[in-house]
Amino acid sequence: MRILIAAGVALALIQCCFAQTMTATHLRCEYLINPIGIGETKPRLSWWNESKERGAVQTAYEILASSSREKLSQNVGDLWDTGKVSSDKSIQIEYAGSPLKSRDLVFWKVRVWDKSGNPSPYSEVAKWEIGLLDPSDWQANWIGKPNATIDKADPSPYIRKGFDVSSPIDHARIYVSAQGLYELYLNGHRVSDDHFNPGFTDYKFRIQYETYDVTRLIKQGRNAVGAILGDGWYVGHVGGWGRQQYGKQPMGLVQLEVTFKDGSQMSVGSSSAWKVADGPILSSDFMKGEDYDARKELGNWSAADFDDSSWQSAMQGSAPAAAIVAQCSEPVRKWQELHAKSITQPKTGMYVVDLGQNMVGWARMKVKGKASDKVQLRFAEMLNPDGTIYTANLRSATSTDTYILKGDGEEVFEPHFTFHGFRYVEVTGYPGLLQDDSITGIVLGSATPDTGKFECSNQMVNQLWHNIYWGQRGNYLSVPTDCPQRDERLGWMGDAEVFVRTAAYNCEIGGFMTKWLNDVQDGQTPSGAFADVSPRVHDFGDNPAAPGWGDAGVIVPYAIYQAYDDKRILERHFESMRIWVDYIHDNNPNLLWEKSRANDYGDWLNIHEETPHEVLGTAFFAHSTDLVAKSADVLGLTDEAAKYHELFKGICDAFNKAYVGPDGRIKGDTQTAYLVALGFHMLPDDMRPLAIQHLVEDVTVKRNNHLATGFLGVSLLNPVLTETGNLDLAYKLLLQDTFPSWGYPIKNGATTIWERWDGWTQDKGFQDPGMNSFNHYSLGSVGEWLYGVVGGIKPGTPGYKEIVIHPQPGGNLTYANTSYQSIYGDIKSNWKIDGHSFELSVKIPANTKALVYVPAASAEAVMEHGHPASSADGLKFLRMEDGAAVFEAGSGSYDLTSTK
């Protein structure tokens, strides 16, 4: 009898295992993998569900969070045990366990139940760790170099401290920050591969710190910790406003905490007991470059046995007024290396290395020569007609690195605290013959994970996507900068808001934008005005707001909510969003944004069509108001929602009365005027067809199938044309390669998006060098349309819980392959036209569903593997719409074919 019972139990277990169709993978905490030193005490947890079954749905989950890996292995959630929660929610689940305090380490795992009620095994173990939550947790002091030269660039100080460890170590953490930049070392080893920490913030309000697990680097006996400090954004040149916008000299803050096996602890904090010395970095500045004298190298200066008796005692400074906060986004890291495509010698003694790609980072140089040989590297995006580098557009950014050799065999130089935007490297003073491997491009950017990929049958369009992607990769460097090469490199708000939806396709930017939106809010004035740039480096006055630029403070949070179903970002920024709209309203009670437009950039860098600024401003006033109303709806703020919905209607009425004629012609009669009115849904139903007609006439007749939009209009151009039934015209603009167009720079060798349509033209050469970047992503906001219309992947609901797969072929494209890793999982939409056949391959993540549009004459014309798709498992035919059969699809992979 016992044998029969045991056999029955075993059979039940086997059946359960075989019945299980779903597993939880890709565990994340606040968008990050196993983050350490976070500042959130109620972090949000997310995971993917994976299943080979179609229509897989999570019906419940259980999260276990424990204070130790051992307890978790025994399925003990001593910090949080949710029990079985009946829910299909698998993203943005807020921790609701025992209160967490500084330094708490939490291990967690999750299991899920599928639609048949079968539980999965527990996931792999993930973890997060809390940083230092209270100012009193910091026992270290800010230190720097005594008697530093503050009226010009000073050598980068090296700081260090030796210490003894007498007991066996359990674990060790180091908390570190800088007023400026730092590179951190322990016992002769670089602690991380991060660059430019603690990142660019508005240092008047907050300075970030980082946390590192250094257990592997600590040893019993003698140890040493040290750092190199750099000027960075805090001390060095920022924008065109000179040095020292925040402070006079770089300072470091280091706190090492060691926990021993017996539970006792020790701490080593920066103080005046530390030592400091100058080293080989003579100067280092983001705009100017780095000067390095290898003859002044200090040897293994961070090693435990290094003799620092000749070093000075460090100067101990006072703590800044700013809050010291945990970094909440990915750091800047190297993500690629580029090798020389060609080397030329336009002049005697001068080499020009072409890396083949406009990039952001620096050059690594290998060189061999005698002591005191000096090599100079200069950087540029373009070449002059004589083959020399074009640097006029850099303005005051000299972007020059110099290296003085020590004369000790082959030497390798990489700078520490500078970066450049460039494709070409000019090398002078190089001893010997420059070889193909002498110069390597080291590509840097914030380490936001790749999520999107687009490729189609048209190589020019593929290059366009490539240029958009590389522009983002280079300019998303701690903050979303405008450009990486000239003396600017600021977080311009207008650039960020037009591009954010494209950016969210290319990479996961939830954490990146969480951090930057803190900078945006820090820069808001008490009256409610957002700044033109965030961090707000320069004082633009009490009312710095510009239409389309300040509106980023509303548009970007809402875009992040849509991409990741991130309600917290709306909760935390709703008040600043609301008072921005109130600020405009207070200054313009007639509901036309005609006053207090500050710098008032308009449709920046448009071509031959200047949209009236009051028209553009009022449209953005309406759009921000609409998004505030929708955000209030999301947050359940009923009164605020009603108020701002009503205000939106009032602004639209005022707009139509003041700027729209009876024939639907909008004041200014420009492409952008019609685009904002149509795209922001401001026109009454009877006016829309007339406005559409005027827009189409402007593009086709007046501009001969060319665009005329600037930064603000271009993001709406193809989406509005598509939405209004002019898909063919949108494709004509996409494929246009004569000036002005997206294709014109590509035809002329562009590898990133240019700032201006006419940055360089065959008849006029270079534009005004005062404003002529060749890596500036704003005009690449069409990437959203490539993913959403050509590829056909759009969110049906925030976070892609419900997905729309609706490819809309055109322009003689014969295929497009598009993928996007949503917060729920992989989405794919690959289509191909073969004669009269349309083939669509779709992948939908588990625990989501999609509306799938298949171009077809009827539902019966759509097949899967030779059988009617309407009868296929996981598919349900809904309707015919605009020449497509629309199916509701559960998760899984589908290969659909139709004929027309």
pLDDT per position as a tens digit, 319-372: 999 999 999 999 999 999 999 999 999 999 999 999 999 999 999 999 999 999
What CA–CA distance (Å, rounded) separates 120 from 84?
A: 12
Say which DSSP state 34 is in.
S
At residue 737, what is the residue type? D
In the chain, the N- to C-terminal Cα span, in Å, equals: 66
Which of 147 and 832 is assigned the larger pLDDT?
A: 832
What percentage of the chain carries pLDDT values higher than 70? Answer: 97
Examine the pLDDT at 657 and tell me if it is beyond 70. Answer: yes
Q: Which residues contact 410 (CB under 8 A, 6 or more apart)?
A: 366, 367, 368
Examine the pLDDT at 240 and tell me if it is beyond 90. Answer: no
Show the 3-state SS of 52-108.
CCCCCCCCEEEEEEECCHHHHHCCCCCCEECCCEECCCCCCEECCCCCCCCCCEEEE
Cα–Cα distance list, 151 to 144, 147, 148, 306, 535 (Å): 16, 12, 9, 32, 24
The string of pLDDT tens digits covering residues 182-235 is 999 999 999 999 999 999 999 999 999 999 999 999 999 999 999 999 999 999
Model pLDDT, residue 8: 41
pLDDT band, very low/low/confident/very high, at 16 (cuts 50, 70, 90):
very low
Examine the pLDDT at 19 and tell me if it is beyond 80. Answer: no
Model pLDDT, residue 439: 98
Q: Within 13 Å and on the Cβ side, how many CA atoms surround 120?
A: 27
Q: Which whole number is the average pLDDT over 152-159? A: 93
pLDDT band, very low/low/confident/very high, at 6 (cuts 50, 70, 90):
very low
The string of pLDDT tens digits covering residues 83-111 is 999 999 999 999 999 999 999 999 999 99
At residue 400, what is the residue type? T
DSSP letters, 115-144, are TTSPBPPPPPPEEEEE---SGGG----EEE
The string of pLDDT tens digits covering residues 714-766 is 999 999 999 999 999 999 999 999 999 999 999 999 999 999 999 999 999 99
Examine the pLDDT at 2 and tell me if it is beyond 70. Answer: no
Structure tokens at 654: 């005022």
Q: Which whole number is the average pLDDT over 21-39? A: 97
Q: Which whole number is the average pLDDT over 288-308? A: 98
755 assigned to active site: yes
For the question of whether the overall pTM of this predicted structure is more than 0.75, the answer is yes
Examine the pLDDT at 542 and tell me if it is beyond 90. Answer: no
Examine the pLDDT at 11 and tell me if it is beyond 70. Answer: no
Model pLDDT, residue 574: 98
What CA–CA distance (Å, rounded) separates 206 from 407?
A: 44
**Mean pLDDT of all residues in the chain?**
96
Model pLDDT, residue 21: 78
Residue labelled with tokens 């490199």: 489
Q: What angle do CA 558, 31, 571 make, to 5 degrees?
A: 35
Q: Which whole number is the average pLDDT over 41-67? A: 97
Cis peptide leading into residue 740 (ω within 30°): yes
Q: Which whole number is the average pLDDT over 16-33? A: 82
Examine the pLDDT at 12 and tell me if it is beyond 50. Answer: no
**Cα–Cα nearest to 681, from 627, 636, 631, 736:** 627
DSSP letters, 718-752, are HHHHHHTT-HHHHHHHHH--SSSSSHHHHHTT-SS
Model pLDDT, residue 20: 56
Model pLDDT, residue 3: 43
> In whole angstroms, what separates CA 438 from the centre of its chain?
32
**Cα–Cα nearest to 829, from 887, 886, 784, 893:** 893
Catalytic residue among 426, 488, 497, 864: 488
Examine the pLDDT at 17 and tell me if it is beyond 90. Answer: no
What percentage of the chain carries pLDDT values higher than 90? Answer: 95
888 assigned to active site: no
Q: Which whole number is the average pLDDT over 516-527? A: 96
Catalytic residue among 290, 755, 784, 864: 755
Examine the pLDDT at 524 and tell me if it is beyond 80. Answer: yes
Show the 3-state SS of 386-409.
CCCEECHHHCCCCCEEEEECCCCC
Q: What angle do CA 603, 607, 613 make, to 5 degrees?
A: 25
Q: Within 13 Å and on the Cβ side, how many CA atoms surround 436?
A: 4
